[in-house]
Amino acid sequence: MSGIEYAAAESGMGMGTEGDGEANTLPPLGKTHTTQLKADKGQVTIEGVTVDFGGNVAVDDATLEIRPGEFLCLLGPSGCGKSTLMNTVAGFVRPTAGCVSVDGVQVEQPGLDRGMVFQQHSLFPWKTVCDNVAFGPLMANLGKDQARATARSFLEMVGLSGYENRYPGVLSGGMKQRVGIARALANYPKVLLMDEPFGALDAQTRLVMQENLLQIWSEFGITVIFVTHDIDEAVFLADRVVIMSASPGRLIADLPVELERPRSLAMTTSDVYIRTKQRCMELIRTESKRAFDQQRSVA
Amino acid sequence: MESNAAALTEREAAGLVEAEGSETSRTSLREVELSTEAGPGDAIRLAEAMEDDTIPHFDKFLGHLGTLPWDRYGVRLGAIVGAVILWHVLSVNHVDMLINFANIPNPVVVGDQLVFLLGTSEFYRHILVSLERIAISFGIAAVLGIFIGIIMGRSRIFSDIMMPYIEILRPIPAVAWIPMAILMLPTEEASIIYITTLGAFFPIVLSTLHGVEQTSGVYIRAAQSLGAGRIAIMRHVVLPGALPSIMSGLAIGMGVAWFSLLAGEIISGQYGIGYFTWNAYSLVEYESIVIGMLIIGGLGTLSTWLVKQASKPALRWQESET
């Protein structure tokens, strides 16, 4: 894997625990990703994508350009088709019309250039934590030992070195998602797709996870598409919030978030934050009301 | 459409739209004990009932060996001793109320006969022949059942081709197969193996199919996005995910295998514990009937226990599931 070469020298890794002197053939993951990757890789182009599940239009003519290294939140009410739109980028769903491409290459099927983090229950329960994370490198034809070594360095990054030989069943929800993120990153994808990854977590854990995610993102400089229905989460995380409406799923607004990086919890009381949040709320409320009226007139 | 299928099968696509996080129901081996006492039909109904997690927890006996507190073993031992005493009292006094114990040999006579039989090489031969037949038939049924079950679970067309056969042939009891088996197959031995294999095959194939079908779509998608191809998904996702179901299918299959074997041995064959039991009836050796029955019960229980023990290492991950 060429990606491993991006790893840099020692650094106090995010939420990771410090190296414990264990024979680790790979250097810890470092901050140099930011400059190396942000420049050119991970450009996602969504052009006129429509997804029609046999008369039920989930996504209607969505066009979106995501810059390399950008953190984009796809915000919208439940069932508006935002997950479906992301699944077209992942390659799980083929658009009825339009096309999706990553760095100019059209998406035909799932691939290891696009890492995926699911809402829940996606770790293989029959594999240990280490083997879960090593699965991607193994599929990328790294040998078993090297795949495990890669997995261990990623587990260290998410602070779960002590759990590598446990099964996912014993982990808490937050820990499972950290393993999920480590697993998705272990192939050094260009794009990280996250489908409401923190939706099932309690509010406190969610906050910690959001900060951790931002730290990992800044270290990897990877493009992130993050699907959520939580306005606070979207504004806190994103460079850009794209709002989607329900039935049919349309992209209705594209708001830049002009908060500086690195983000901190203190910013959630700033004027910029509140203004952006209000704007999102207005758009969503108008949209929800319209959908509500529409449903009522049908009934 | 073909490139579409490369991305995901129709079934997975259907799963994408709805029921994203549906819990995979965990089948356990807990129902399996019953199968040694029940007929093949019952065992298969059990296999179906496994889809329903609400069925009561049948008390485990051998499945829990080593994990139960000693006083509970005491109770279980007491239950057996009590039954033997009751049997003795009823048969010695020739009690005839609804059930006639007048011709039933008492435990002491049976014990004497057992000691005598243990001194004959013939007796061991009956047991070994039966064990050999079980091993061969169960082996064939396991390989075929798992293989066919997996393909059925992953291919709709193959499933549609196989299902009518399974549905129609499955309810036919082993005894009903005997005339046809004798006509179809060259030797009696082959007929017995055929009948036994068939009995074990159905629960194994159905449990495997069930296990494969319940593989969560999200695991398959996770594997795909990590670069896994069809074969890797089969090996790393579908097979391990179906393993709990497969293992309970094997344990049920083992019970049904004994049931079918005995049917085959009673009607035809020259050796085997089923033949031994039936022959004892013809020769009016009632003690040997009881011994034959108890040996069958013991071997059936033991072999099912072995299957479950063999499956434990592969299912270690389930212990952490809540």
Q: A256-299, pLDDT tens digit by residue?
A: 999 988 898 889 899 999 999 999 999 888 877 877 787 787 76
pLDDT band with cut points at 50, 70 and 90 for residue A16: very low
Q: How many angstroms separate the CA atoms of B110 and B290, rounded?
A: 7
Helix (H, G, I), strand (E, B) or coil at A176: helix
Question: CB-based contact (8 Å) between B313 and chain A?
Answer: no
Nearest CA in chain A to B218: A122
Q: Which of the residues A88, A109, A165 would you substitute to probe the B interface, choosing the one with the greatest number of B C-beta atoms within 10 Å?
A: A109
pLDDT at A15 over 90: no
CB A268 within 8 A of CB A232: yes
Interval B247-288: pLDDT, tens = 999 999 999 999 999 888 887 778 899 999 999 988 988 999
Whether the predicted pLDDT of B42 surpasses 60:
no
Query: Under a CB-based contact definition with an 8 Å cutoff, are residues A159 and A131 in contact?
Result: no
- Choice among A27-36, B126-135, B185-194 with the minimum mean pLDDT: A27-36
Closest chain B residue to the Cα of A95, Cα to Cα: B4
Rounded Cα–Cα distance for residues A109 and A184 (Å):
16
Q: Is A109–B3 a contact, with Cβ atoms under 8 angstroms apart?
A: yes
Option in B7, B226, B318 nearest A135 (CB) = B226
Amino acid identity for residue A90 in this structure: A
CA distance A25 to A150: 9
CB contact under 8 A, A169 and B224: no
Closest CA to B28 of B54, B66, B6: B54
In this prediction, residue B7 carries a pLDDT of 41
- From the list A114, A125, A170, which residue is nearest B225 (CB)? A114
- The separation between CA A4 and the C-alpha centre of its own chain, rounded to angstroms, equals 20
Model pLDDT for residues B64-117, shown as the tens digit of each residue: 455 667 888 889 999 999 999 999 999 998 888 888 888 889 999 999 999 999
Give A220's pLDDT tier (boundaries 50, 70, 90): confident
Interface contact B169, partner A, CB < 8 A = no
From first CA to last CA, the distance across chain A in angstroms is 56
A110/B224 CB distance under 8 A: yes
Query: CA quadruple A144, A150, A151, A153: dihedral positive or negative?
Result: positive
**Residue/partner pairs of A101-104 with CB below 8 Å, 24 or more apart:** A101/A44, A101/A45, A101/A47, A102/A42, A102/A43, A102/A44, A102/A45, A102/A190, A102/A191, A103/A41, A103/A42, A103/A43, A103/A190, A104/A43, A104/A45
Strand pairing category for A240-245 and B99-100: unpaired
The residue among B218, B219, B226 with the most chain A CBs within 10 A of its CB, best to mutate, is: B226
B225 vs A135: CB contact, 8 Å cut-off?
no
pLDDT mean across residues, chain B: 80
**pLDDT grade, residue A13 (50/70/90)?**
very low
Contact of A234 with A47, CB cutoff 8 Å: no
Measured CA to CA in angstroms, residue B320 lies from A118, A126, A128, A133, A163 at distances of 21, 10, 11, 18, 13
Q: CA-CA distances (angstroms) from residue A210 to A25, A157, A200, A255? A: 30, 15, 13, 20
- B66 touches A at CB < 8 Å: no
Question: Which of B219, B221, B225, B247 to mutate against chain A (most A CBs within 10 Å)?
Answer: B225
Q: How far is A226 from chain B (nearest CA, A)?
A: 16
Q: Do A112 and B226 touch (CB under 8 A)?
A: yes
**What pLDDT is recorded for position B321?**
61
Does the pLDDT at position A3 exceed 50? no
User: Range with the lowest mean pLDDT among A55-59, A154-158, B207-211?
Assistant: A55-59
Task: Name the band, by pLDDT with cuts 50, 70 and 90, for residue B202.
Answer: very high
A87 neighbourhood in chain B, CB within 8 Å = 16
Nearest CB neighbour to A122, from listed B17, B222, B240: B222
Q: pLDDT-based confidence at A200, cuts 50/70/90?
A: confident
CA proximity to A134, closest of A126, A125, A122, A146: A146
Q: Percent of chain B at pLDDT above 70?
A: 77
Chain B residues whose beta carbon lies within 8 Å of the beta carbon of residue A117: none
Q: Are the C-beta atoms of A245 and A80 separated by less than 8 Å?
A: yes
What single DSSP character describes residue A56?
E
What are the distances in angstroms from CA B73 to CA A120, B79, B83, B208?
42, 10, 16, 34
% of chain A residues with pLDDT over 70? 87
Query: Quick check: A17 pLDDT over 70?
Result: no
> A188 with A7: CB under 8 angstroms?
no
Q: Is B99 helix (H, G, I), strand (E, B) or coil?
A: strand
The answer to whether the CB of B150 falls within 8 A of the CB of B213 is no
Instruction: Name the residue type at position B227.
Output: G
What is the model's pLDDT at position B103?
84
Answer yes or no: do B226 and A169 touch at CB < 8 A.
no
Chain B positions touching A168 (Cβ under 8 A) are 320
Confidence of residue A235 (pLDDT cuts 50, 70, 90): very high
Other beta carbons within 10 Å of B69: 7
Nearest of B10, B18, B217 to residue A83 by alpha carbon: B18
Pairwise CA distance, residues A227 & A82, whole Å: 7
**Which residue would you say has higher pLDDT here, B315 or A180?**
A180
- Spatial distance between the Cα atoms of A277 and A259, rounded to a whole number of angstroms: 12
Q: Is the dihedral of CA A155, A157, A158, A163 positive or negative?
A: positive
Question: What pLDDT score does B232 carry?
Answer: 93
User: Between chains, do B227 and A121 touch, taking CB under 8 Å as contact?
Assistant: no
As assigned by CATH, the class of the B105-320 domain is: mainly alpha
Q: Which residue has the higher pLDDT, A49 or A293?
A: A49
What is the nearest CA distance from B226 to chain A, expressed in angstroms? 5
Q: Count of CB contacts below 8 A, A vs B?
A: 102
Q: What is the pLDDT of residues A68-109, one digit of tens each?
A: 999 999 998 888 889 999 999 999 999 999 999 999 999 999
Statement: residue A7 has pLDDT above 80: no
Determine phi and psi for A249, rounding to 5 degrees. -70, 110
Q: CB distance from B13 to chain A under 8 Å?
A: yes
Nearest chain A CA: its distance from B1 CA (Å): 10
Subunit contact A118:B222, Cβ cutoff 8 A? yes
Across the interface, whether the CB atoms of A139 and B232 are under 8 A apart is answered yes
How far apart, in Å, are the Cα atoms of A188 and each of A113, A136, B28, B227? 7, 9, 38, 12
Q: Among B219, B221, B228, whose Cβ lies nearest the Cβ of A92?
A: B221
Residue B16 pLDDT exceeds 80: no
CB B227 to CB A111 under 8 A?
Answer: yes
Examine the pLDDT at B149 and tell me if it is beyond 90: yes
- What are B121's two structure tokens? 């090489």
Cβ–Cβ < 8 Å for A187, A136? yes
Angle between helices A173-185 and A144-157 (to 10 degrees): 130
